[in-house]
Amino acid sequence: MVRIHIQLYGQVQGVGFRYHTRNEASKLGLVGYVENRADGSVKIVAEGEEALINQLLAWARTGPKAAQVDRVEVTYDIPTDEFGTFSIER
């Protein structure tokens, strides 16, 4: 089990990114959240099996059709097991 923090920059707000992320993460059985940030980026925090986390990361590098991801920042962490589902924040 791993925890990932993904920060996405570009045309990532107003394109359904949070909703598509929740759907992708839920299909993969991951828990955590996705939120819009005040600086125009989108932040994803997810926990689960490493292979599934890597699938979410690969998807997030492109995102939904209307998105244009210009930059991705990724950090890994120890899972905290604090999430029961994958939710949309803000």
**What CATH number does residue 70 fall under?**
3.30.70.100
Cα(36)–Cα(13) distance, rounded to whole angstroms? 7
Residue 36 is a catalytic residue: yes
From the candidates 18, 22, 23, 90, which is the catalytic residue? 18
**pLDDT the model gives residue 90:** 79
**Token pair 């029961």 is at which residue?**
84
- Which residues are paired to 9 by β-bridges? 71
Question: pTM for this one?
Answer: 0.96
Span 33-89, pLDDT tens digits: 999 999 999 999 999 999 999 999 999 999 999 999 999 999 999 999 999 999 999
In the predicted model, is pLDDT for residue 2 greater than 90? Answer: yes
Q: What pLDDT, in 10s, does the model give residues 5-30?
A: 999 999 999 999 999 999 999 999 99
The residue from 36, 61, 71, 90 that is catalytic is 36
* Pairing, β 31-36 against β 86-89: parallel
Range of the domain at 18: 2-89
Catalytic site includes residue 23: no
Scan for tokens 């949309």, then name that residue: 88
Q: How many domains does the chain have?
A: 1
DSSP secondary structure code for residue 2 in this structure: E
